[in-house]
Amino acid sequence: MKKTGIIVIIIFIVLLFLHSLFNHNKQFNTKPYENKIDSLTNKIKVIEKQNDSLELSIYVLENNNSILSDKSNMLSLKIEKLKRDSSKLKQIIAYQPQQIDSFLVERYQDRYKILSKDTIHVPVPVAKEILVDLFDLDRTKDIVLNQDSLIDNLRSIIGNKDSIIVTLKTKENNYQSIISKQTEQQANYELAVSGLKSDLKKQNFITKINKVEKLAMTIVIVGLIATHK
């Protein structure tokens, strides 16, 4: 009887030890992983807002380039028209002396206001040639001005395209950063899930141990009762 009691007591002590060993496991803490995931989510949102702003910048630049391109086309057409337009030359060739005088008075009206005793008599054919040269000079100036404007427009278009390329590169880098952070998020999700699965296995094992403990405690109690009869 004494041996039976001793065996029962030993079993009881072993059960207490097992209970202490398996029921004081620290539960897996998902909070650090949740905080990291939330932090990455906020960073992704900030980058996405930056990309929205960059997208707007690209839209503005492309719209400006569209306007500049239309203007450049108009300037090119105007330059071509100026180069080909000879209607004024035909009119000048048909000018009468009075029309030549009127043209010069209108063009140099400030100079005509200055009194001068000196006069120069220019034959009509020579005067017509002078008017033709003046017309060509005016046309050339107009062509040059339009060409300068065209060049400025083309430079602006190129500058805008360069800015678009830089902006697109920034967007691409941002997308790469988003992908990297999403990958990091996925890793944290997997670590959290892995920890929870491990915790669940431990809890299942503890549950089984508790069932064994309850069964063993029942046997111990029955044994103790039997040994004290």
DSSP string, the chain: -HHHHHHHHHHHHHHHHHHHHHS-PPPP--HHHHHHHHHHHHHHHHHHHHHHHHHHHHHHHHHHHHHHHHHHHHHHHHHHHHHH--HHHHHHHT--HHHHHHHHHHHTHHHHTS--S------HHHHHHHHHHHHHHHHHHHHHHHHHHHHHHHHHHHHHHHHHHHHHHHHHHHHHHHHHHHHHHHHHHHHHHHHHHHHHHHHHHHHHHHHHHHHHHHHHHHHHHHHT-
Terminal-residue alpha carbon distance, the chain: 10
Pairwise CA distance, residues 217 & 21, whole Å: 16
pLDDT by residue (tens digit) across 2-54?
A: 555 566 566 666 666 565 555 555 666 778 878 888 888 899 999 999 999 99
pLDDT by residue (tens digit) across 82-99?
A: 888 877 777 888 888 888
Map out the domains of the chain as residue ranges. 2-227
**Residue 126, C-beta contacts closer than 8 angstroms, at least 6 positions apart:** none
pTM score, whole prediction: 0.60
Assign a CATH topology to domain 2-227. Answer: Helix Hairpins (1.10.287)
Which percentage of the chain shows pLDDT scores above 90? 34
Contacts 24+ apart (CB under 8 A), 203-207: 205/22, 206/22, 206/23, 206/25
Question: Would you state the pLDDT for residue 20?
Answer: 57
pLDDT by residue (tens digit) across 131-165?
A: 888 888 888 899 999 999 999 999 999 999 999 99
